[in-house]
């Protein structure tokens, strides 16, 4: 029903928007320029005809009185341009290739007519852009098809763009400030504000993949004109292939096996190389349905992978149970049959023979995953004025990943579903007026749970209060010394985005106007229901109070007898809990956000050597609304302390109608080979919704504005912090809040974040095929989304000391009593306010060189030297050390990486012997390389040193933080991971109790990263246009050790400063992630 209402709203919006012109950044290409004669004078009213060389698409126009012309929003491909004018020879230019987000600058010079001669010219393979002022980086179709990508994951292609660092930040923006699109359609998961397709699930492996085989070109546009919006970082666009007049397709199989891999340098000497297997297979087909008119393209791909899991667990086996039962019998404590049933239901039996020992269970079942991904596209050349394109991408996957404990039943499972649909209509209304209309829908659904989560625990007699079958599963039960169960509660979301987009282009003299806008609705079914199954701890200490109660009769305590594991298990079998808690209330919400934008842009060719680009954009991003349940904000003037949206206030935060973003740029052609360009623009940003609804920075405030203890259905944590007995069939935890609780709220002054982006660069054409670029790129961020506790306690060396008042006598801790709102709201603890007080600054030097088809070589290399600073690097789970002193947080951004070098090479080896043609021809070598320096790290104190309870205290730097000996060191156990001591713990101290550390954020750097991937390809012709392609792809060919970030959580810990694994393993993709130890992948393809 909710989905039906959503699509009705999209359709209704479409009819409203058909009356105006609307837009977003283009995913297509263009060709524009000025028709000149041999002296450089303009040629007005020349007839210009465009022909798609592969599709027969035709367009016609006439140059203006100033000689200018433009073909905008063209499907990607190669075109021929024919220009004719009275008194001049007809000129034909072929192989003019369009690239996404770019306009090919083509200003032909006509020669005086001579005997009906037709002048034919082949376009340059790489041409400098003399009119645009945007920064656009494109990976063309040849490179997309041949660059060796680990896991065949297109998101790695973003690294090729100058300004993109190893953390995924573009020009100093946060990593979730990028706008991902497929054929111009939103491909964002608004919960994280990250890409929908190819987003990881329980691991660093993509849950669903847009197949590389389906991608024609890949582009990243930053520092854009007024057409670019939604986010301030960059617009990342994948353009799906189309059919042509020739049938083309492929069938392929990619295979990876640990047999060809190197063992990780960080694994213990006694640990065998784990199983790592990845298989991707599928096929594609494209061609004409009706020549020159109607085309199709389809692709299907399946991915299956296995990652070996290892690690011993400790389970309560019969031997352990017998020991615990004997202990209970000795002290006359009865065994509760309910907990015997719970034990047998939730824990596996040990599979290592012997007595009651630790490490008695090893689960041999691996981590695994699969996805099925399909793409279909239809392109219709309706006539010489109109085209229509319809495209669908559907991906479905399921991942099963290692969790804590390493037990298959409690591996984390994450099914993922992604649907993305596009309908694009292009219409050339007149010679100088064209329009592109687009309707797009994106669906992203992903949930998380324990692998086995159908256990009805109340039916066993343990009444956890859970009655909804969708919430069944194991509570989080921790028995000291044994592996816990129920680590993953039901989590996830389903979000839908529908948008209607339209762009009009008008060529008027020396002006090229583009204007339009967009309506977008984001709808999300929020399913993050943390702690709704409850959490219970059994530590072996509860018999001190429970076994001496009158209800137990002749029981006696056993808190000092036997070993700790046996005592804890005895407590569990008796039903003696040390503490417990559960979240009561309904956390599920259906939420939506509406966004509008309009823009106007003019590209004014002042002279053949100077082009100005200027425009303005208006962005409106409305407040978040709920269609079921309520939101609430903290209100110090209300008796309850809350204002409920829809009852006391209209919206969660104010509507902002003044988000006006000016853009300006210029492009100056200093010579035929040198262009200088610069831009300035203000870019507003769409906030990620997880900041409002699932934010856990560590101070125990409510996780979101839907989780406050107010309203008809309050959400609160019911808990007992001292020992209690759980009786069969009786819910042991309170049904109402009985203690202090945290609050979540949104600032009344909440604003949309914005970035001011600016750059100045030079582009030089080194040769017909090669272009180099160098420049300065910078940005300033304001009103960035952040979290701050506005009820933070005062620092204290003794925060738990009692503070008492008289009349009546009440006592509470200093920490609680020192909170600013304690006098009026004594039960309110942390009040996390979601606000827009963040700021950032970025400066960089960026350089790149690219070549295309230079003696069969296509390549690009880019280098960035940059520095990003801010006072907060994210929203979700981020908080300052001292919420009352935000300026003290200003420092190096968490995602800052100073040096980044990326590049790729695609090279076809010429035939090297005419005698052995079958063996000496068809060879290709390709490479993809990434190097970057270490990212910033902020060492933490690991404890509440300030006494505020925020748990964000930093360690204090007092010496050289880097360890001089960074060699790999074996652990005491041959089965444990090896370590590298990256940081020196002696360089850090804990701040004095009751104080904050003076050390700012980002004071140290983690390990750098470097990998060179390569492939060798052999093409063999089987029959005319059918060839067999065999590929051997090698990842991290030099087997460089790419360490994960070291532990920086507590300088007094023995693990501080140590890195114990590789970066891919830390991200949940051991052996499959980028930069993992050397591995090989083999593939066979039939291509036609």
| Angle separating helix axes 564-574 and 337-346, nearest 10 degrees | 120
- The predicted-structure confidence for 1007-1048, as pLDDT tens digits, reads as follows 999 999 999 999 999 998 999 999 999 999 999 999 999 999
Short-list 429, 403, 563, CA closest to 484 = 403
User: In DSSP terms, which residues pair with 500 in a beta bridge?
Assistant: 439, 519
Q: What is the CA radius of gyration of the chain?
A: 32
Pairing verdict, β 118-122 and 47-52: unpaired
- Tell me, yes or no, whether 840 lies in a domain: no
pLDDT, residue 1073, reads 86
pLDDT in tens, 219-228: 998 878 899 8
Q: Looking at residue 20, what is its pLDDT?
A: 31
| Helix runs in 295-362, H state only | 318-330, 337-346
The residues, any chain, with a CB within 8 Å of residue 282's CB and separated by 6 or more, are 211, 213, 251, 252, 299, 300, 301, 302, 373
pLDDT number for residue 124 = 64
Please enumerate in sequence order all residues whose Cβ is within 8 A of that of 270, keeping only pairs 6 or more positions apart, or say none: 974, 975
Residue 1055 within any structural domain of the chain: yes
CA–CA distance, 959 with 356 (Å, rounded to integer): 47
Which class for 145: exposed (0-12), middle (13-18), buried (19 or more C-beta within 10 A)? middle
Residue where a domain terminates, one of 121, 136, 151: 136
Task: Check: CB of residue 30 under 8 Å from CB of residue 102.
Answer: yes
In a domain, 839, yes or no: no
Count how many Cα atoms sit within 13 Å of the Cα of residue 957 in the half-sphere of its side chain.
15
Give the side-chain half-sphere CA count within 13 A for 735.
Answer: 5
CA separation for the pair 1033, 781 (Å, rounded):
41
Domain of residue 96, residue span: 15-136
Residue 46 lies in a domain: yes
β-bridge mates for residue 444, sequence order? 418, 495
Peptide bond between residue 808 and the one before it cis (omega within 30 degrees of 0): yes
Other C-beta atoms within 10 Å of 226: how many?
Answer: 28
Q: Which of 397, 307, 451, 447 is CA-nearest to residue 1073?
A: 307
**How many structural domains is the chain composed of?**
2
On whether residue 1044 sits in a domain, the answer given is yes
User: For the chain, which residues score pLDDT lower than 70?
Assistant: 1-26, 115-117, 124-127, 548, 550-551
- Looking at residue 103, which CATH number applies to its domain? 2.60.40.1120
> Which pLDDT value is given to residue 5?
43
Q: Which residues pair with 30 in a beta bridge?
A: 103
Burial of 610 (0-12, 13-18, 19+ CB in 10 A): middle
Q: Terminal CA-to-CA distance of the chain, rounded, Å?
A: 46
Res 623: pLDDT: 96
Which residue from 663, 649, 659 is spatially nearest to 621, judged by alpha carbons? Answer: 659
For strands 754-767 and 770-789, give the pairing: antiparallel
Whole-angstrom CA distances from 560 to 438, 540, 542, 546, 564 are 72, 9, 11, 15, 8
Cβ burial of 454 (10 Å; 0-12, 13-18, 19+) is exposed
Which residues lie across from 1027 on neighbouring strands? 1021, 1087
Q: How far apart are CA 346 and CA 349, in angstroms?
A: 10
E strand intervals along 573-694: 576-577, 579-584, 589-607, 610-621, 625-626, 632-634, 642-644, 660-669, 674-684
3-state helix, strand, coil in the chain (%, to 5): 10, 45, 45
Task: Please report the DSSP string for 762-824 in residue order.
Answer: EEEEEETTEEEEEEEEEEEEEEEEEEEETTPPPP-S-TT-EEEETTTTEEEEHHHHTSTTTTT
Letter string b/e over residues 198-213, b meaning 16 or more CB atoms within 10 A of that residue's CB = bbbbbbbbbbbbbbbb
Structural element, H or E, at residue 7: helix 2-17
pLDDT of residue 757: 96
Pairing of strands 980-981, 1058-1059: antiparallel
Give the torsion sign (CA, 447, 451, 454, 456).
negative
Q: 246 in helix, strand or coil?
A: coil
Close Cβ partners of 339 (under 8 Å, ≥ 6 residues apart): 462, 572, 573, 574, 575, 726
Residue 987 covered by a domain: yes
pLDDT for position 7: 39
pLDDT of residue 404: 87
Dmax over Cα atoms in the chain, in whole Å?
A: 120
Residue 960 has a CB neighbour count (10 Å cut-off) of 11
- Rounded to whole angstroms, the Cα distance separating 224 from 757 reads 9
891 domain-assigned: yes
Q: CA torsion angle for 812, 813, 818, 820 (degrees, to 10)?
A: -60
* pLDDT value, residue 6: 39
For residue 693, give the H/E element and its range. Answer: helix 690-693
- Residue finishing a domain among 89, 116, 136: 136
DSSP H/E element including 566: helix 564-574
Q: How far apart are CA 618 and CA 622, in angstroms?
A: 13
pLDDT of 415: 97
Domain boundary among 136, 170, 203: 136
DSSP character for 868? E
Tell whether 814 is covered by a domain: no
């Amino acid at each position: 029903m909710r989905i039906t209402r959503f699509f009705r709203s999209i359709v209704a919006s479409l009819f409203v928007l058909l009356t105006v012109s609307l837009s977003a950044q283009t995913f297509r290409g263009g060709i524009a320029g000025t028709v000149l004669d041999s002296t450089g004078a303009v040629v007005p009213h020349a007839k210009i005809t465009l022909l798609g060389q592969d599709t027969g698409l035709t367009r016609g126009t006439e140059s203006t009185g100033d000689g200018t012309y433009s073909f905008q929003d063209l499907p990607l491909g190669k075109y021929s341009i024919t220009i004719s004018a009275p008194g001049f020879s007809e000129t034909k230019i072929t192989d003019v290739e369009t690239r996404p987000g770019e306009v090919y600058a083509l200003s032909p010079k006509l020669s005086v007519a001579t005997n009906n001669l037709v002048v034919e010219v082949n376009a340059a393979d790489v041409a400098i852009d003399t009119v645009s002022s945007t920064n656009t980086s494109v990976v063309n179709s040849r490179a997309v098809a041949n660059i060796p990508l680990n896991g065949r994951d297109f998101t790695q292609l973003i690294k090729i763009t100058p300004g993109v660092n190893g953390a995924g930040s573009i020009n100093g923006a946060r990593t979730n400030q990028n706008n991902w699109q497929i054929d111009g359609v939103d491909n964002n998961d608004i919960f994280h504000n990250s890409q929908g397709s190819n987003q990881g699930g329980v691991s660093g492996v993509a849950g669903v993949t847009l197949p590389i085989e389906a991608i024609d070109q890949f582009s990243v546009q930053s520092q854009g004109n007024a057409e670019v919006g939604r986010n301030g970082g960059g617009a990342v666009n994948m353009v799906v292939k189309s059919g042509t007049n020739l049938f083309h397709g492929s069938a392929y199989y990619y295979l990876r096996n640990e047999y060809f891999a190197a063992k990780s340098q960080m694994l213990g000497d006694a640990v065998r190389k784990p199983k790592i297997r990845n298989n991707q297979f599928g096929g594609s087909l494209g061609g004409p349905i009706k020549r020159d008119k109607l085309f199709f393209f389809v692709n299907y791909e399946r991915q299956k992978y296995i990652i070996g899991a290892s690690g011993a667990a400790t389970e309560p086996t019969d031997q352990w149970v017998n020991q615990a039962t004997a202990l209970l019998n000795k002290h006359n404590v009865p065994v509760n049959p309910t907990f015997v049933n719970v034990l047998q239901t939730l824990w596996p039996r040990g599979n290592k023979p012997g007595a009651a020992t630790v490490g008695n269970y090893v689960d041999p079942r691996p981590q695994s995953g699969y996805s099925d991904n399909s793409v279909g596209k239809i392109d219709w050349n309706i006539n010489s004025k109109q085209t229509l394109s319809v495209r669908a991408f559907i991906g479905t996957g399921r991942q099963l990943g290692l969790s804590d404990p390493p037990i298959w039943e409690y591996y984390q499972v994450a099914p993922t579903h992604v649907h993305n649909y596009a309908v694009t209509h292009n219409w050339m209304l007149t010679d100088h007026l064209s329009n592109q209309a687009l309707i797009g829908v994106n669906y992203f659904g992903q949930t998380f749970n324990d692998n086995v989560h159908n256990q009805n625990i109340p039916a066993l007699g343990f009444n956890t209060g859970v009655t909804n079958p969708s919430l069944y599963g194991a509570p989080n039960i921790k028995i000291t010394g044994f592996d816990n169960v129920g680590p993953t509660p039901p989590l996830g979301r389903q979000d839908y985005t529908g948008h209607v987009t339209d762009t009009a282009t008008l060529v008027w003299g020396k002006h090229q106007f583009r204007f339009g806008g967009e309506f977008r609705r984001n709808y999300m079914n929020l399913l993050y229901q943390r702690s709704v199954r409850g959490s219970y701890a059994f530590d072996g200490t509860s018999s001190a109070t429970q076994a001496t109660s009158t209800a137990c009769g002749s029981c006696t305590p056993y808190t000092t007898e036997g070993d700790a594991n046996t005592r804890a298990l005895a407590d569990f079998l008796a039903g003696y809990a040390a503490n417990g808690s559960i979240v009561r209330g309904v956390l599920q919400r259906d939420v939506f956000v509406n966004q509008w934008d309009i823009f106007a842009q003019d590209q004014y060719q002042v002279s053949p050597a100077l082009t100005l680009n200027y425009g303005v954009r208006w962005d409106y991003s409305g407040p978040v609304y709920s269609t079921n349940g309520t939101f609430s904000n903290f209100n110090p003037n209300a008796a309850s302390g809350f204002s409920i949206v829809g009852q006391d206030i209209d919206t969660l935060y104010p509507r902002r109608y003044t988000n006006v973003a000016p853009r300006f740029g210029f492009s100056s052609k200093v010579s035929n080979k040198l262009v200088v360009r610069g831009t300035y623009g203000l870019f507003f940003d769409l906030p990620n919704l997880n900041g409002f609804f699932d934010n856990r920075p560590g101070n125990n405030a409510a996780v979101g504005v839907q989780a406050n203890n107010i309203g008809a259905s309050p959400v609160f944590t019911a808990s007992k912090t001292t020992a209690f007995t759980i009786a069969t069939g009786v819910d042991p935890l309170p049904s109402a809040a009985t203690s202090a609780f945290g609050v979540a709220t949104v600032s009344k002054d909440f604003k949309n974040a914005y970035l001011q982006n600016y750059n100045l660069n030079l582009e030089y054409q080194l040769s017909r095929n090669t272009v180099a670029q160098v420049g300065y790129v910078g940005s300033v961020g304001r009103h960035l989304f952040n979290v701050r506790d506005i009820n933070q306690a005062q620092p204290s060396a003794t925060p738990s000391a009692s503070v008492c008042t008289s009349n009546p006598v009440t006592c509470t801790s200093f920490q609680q009593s020192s909170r600013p709102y304690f006098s009026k709201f004594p039960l309110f603890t942390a009040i996390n306010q979601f606000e827009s007080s963040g700021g950032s600054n970025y400066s960089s030097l960026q350089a790149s060189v690219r070549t295309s088809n230079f003696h069969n070589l296509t390549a690009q290399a880019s280098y960035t030297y940059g520095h990003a600073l801010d006072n907060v690097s994210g929203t979700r789970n981020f908080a300052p050390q001292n919420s009352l002193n935000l300026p003290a947080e200003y420092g190096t951004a968490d995602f800052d990486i100073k040096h980044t070098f990326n590049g790729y090479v695609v090279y076809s080896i010429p035939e090297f012997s005419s005698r052995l043609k079958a063996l000496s021809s068809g060879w290709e070598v390709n490479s993809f390389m990434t190097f970057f320096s270490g990212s910033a790290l902020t060492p933490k104190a690991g404890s509440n040193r300030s006494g505020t309870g925020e748990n964000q205290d930093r360690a204090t730097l007092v010496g050289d933080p880097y360890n001089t000996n960074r060699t790999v060191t074996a652990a005491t156990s041959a089965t444990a991971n090896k370590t590298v001591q990256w940081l020196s713990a002696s360089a850090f101290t804990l701040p004095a109790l009751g104080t904050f550390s003076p050390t700012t954020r980002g004071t140290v750097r983690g390990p750098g990263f470097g990998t060179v991937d390569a492939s060798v390809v052999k093409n063999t012709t089987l029959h005319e246009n059918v060839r067999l392609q065999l590929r051997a792809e090698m990842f991290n060919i030099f087997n460089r050790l790419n360490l994960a970030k070291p532990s920086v959580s507590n300088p007094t810990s023995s693990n501080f400063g140590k890195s114990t694994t590789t970066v891919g393993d830390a991200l949940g993709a051991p052996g499959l992630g980028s930069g993992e130890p050397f591995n090989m992948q083999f593939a066979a393809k039939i291509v036609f």
